Amino acid sequence: MRLRFNLLFGGAICLIILTLGVFAPLFVHHDPILDANLMNAELPPNADFWFGTDSQGRDVFSRVLYGSRVSLTVGIVSQLINSCIGLLFGISAGYIGGRWDEFVSGLTNVMLSIPSLIFALAIMAILGPGLGSLLIALGLTNWSWTCRIARSSALSLKSQGYVQAAKTLGYSDIRIMITQILPNMIGPILVIGTLGMGDAILAEAALSYLGLGIRPPFPSWGSMLTDARELIAVAPWAAIFPGIAIFLTVLGLNLFGDGLRDYLDPHMRTRKA
């Protein structure tokens, strides 16, 4: 019961947000950027502007919807890059061991001791603002946890009988890492991955606030939040709705990750049948 609930509820939230983002033009009747009209500034939610308007009179509803495109892209793509780097380093370090392991462990410790946002900031400063550099900056800086988990799982999995058996059956090391080790750590990696997507969405907000994210008129939840900061007393809706959007997305991702982990566990699967 609970398994299904997490998976379906979390999945549904994610799917709804994804659909709203992808098909945003079908749901909105104001342009998120061009329909700026100071006459309409700071209107509370009403029949025409469902979520109200911001300081420039733009429709918050359509900006939230369009903004999800940026936030979701940043979350998914940068976390994918993080997971791939973390898995690559972590599995190989744990499985191969020796000097390579010492090197990777040293590197992850260095990464962990510097806040990843500062790291991302430095990369953004070099690459300049924009979506592409945002993805690269966030994708290169938040893989240390994935790497640590992957390394310690690989280290304990490699002494399991089935890994030894695979070697005696002639499997190459690469094949063993992919077919025997990786599938057995997918649970924790997924959970870290969904949390990481949430992190990335929040980091995007932070970087946008510093003027290093998406360039202004284009909406992203992060830039909307920061724009709305000065209005929090007069037009709280301009901050609340993107806030709720971030919250729901992160919640949906976490539930989905949890449910997916349980679903992928073969112990859980057959008992349901």
Partner 1 sequence: MASQTQPLLQIENLSVCFPVSAGLFRRSHQAVRAINNLSLSLHKNQCLSIVGESGCGKSTLALTILGLQHPTHGSISFDGKPITGAAQPGRMQRARMAQMVFQDPYASLNPRQTIHAALAGPLRLHGLRNKGEVEDRIATTLKMVGLKPEQAKRYPHEFSGGQRQRIGIARALILDPKVIVLDEPVSALDVSIRAQIINLLLDLKERLDLSYIMISHDLSVVEHMSDRVAVMYFGQIVEEGPWQSIFANPVHPYTRRLLAAIPDPFTIIRQEDITRKDMQPPPLSGFSYYPEEIGTHDVYQSPPPTEFLTVGDDHKVRFIAR
Partner 2 sequence: MSAPPLLEVRNLHIDMRSGQERLNVVENVSFSIGAGETFGLVGESGCGKSITALSLIGLLNRPLAVGQGEILFKGQNLLKMNGSELRRLRGNRISMIFQEPMTALNPLATVGRQIAEMFVLHQGSTWHEAERKAIAALAQVQVPAPDKRIKNYPHQMSGGMRQRVMIAIALACHPDLLIADEPTTALDVTVQAEILKLMQELCDQRGTSVLMISHDLGVIAKMCQRVGIMYAGHLVEERAVADLFRRPAHPYTHGLLASLPVLGQRKLNERKPLQEIEGIVPSIAAFPTGCRFEPRCTRASPICRDAVPGPSVLGDYSFVRCYHHG
With CB under 8 A as the contact rule, which of the stretches 154-162, 165-173, 184-192, 210-218 interacts with partner 2? Answer: 154-162
73 makes contact with partner 2 (CB under 8 A): no
> Quick one: CA dihedral 211, 217, 220, 222, positive or negative?
positive
Give least dist CB 199 to partner 2, A.
25
Residue 234 CB, nearest approach to partner 1 (Å)? 55
In whole angstroms, the minimum distance from the beta carbon of 91 to partner 1 comes to 15
> Residue 167 interacts with partner 1 (CB under 8 A)?
yes
Per-residue binding string, partner 1, 91-130, x by CB under 8 A, is: -----------x----------------------------
Segments of 150-240 assigned E as strands:
none
The site string for partner 1 over 208-247 (x = CB under 8 A, - otherwise) reads ----------------------------------------
CB of 26 to partner 2, least distance (A): 38
Instruction: Provide the angle, in degrees to the nearest 10, between the axes of the packed helices 237-264 and 186-209.
Output: 170
Contact status: 266 vs partner 2 (CB under 8 A): no
* Inter-axis angle of helices 144-157 and 186-209, nearest 10: 170
d(CA 79, CA 260): 17
255's CB contacts (< 8 A; 6+ apart) are 6, 7, 9, 10, 13
Is 32 in contact with 57 (CB distance < 8 Å)?
no
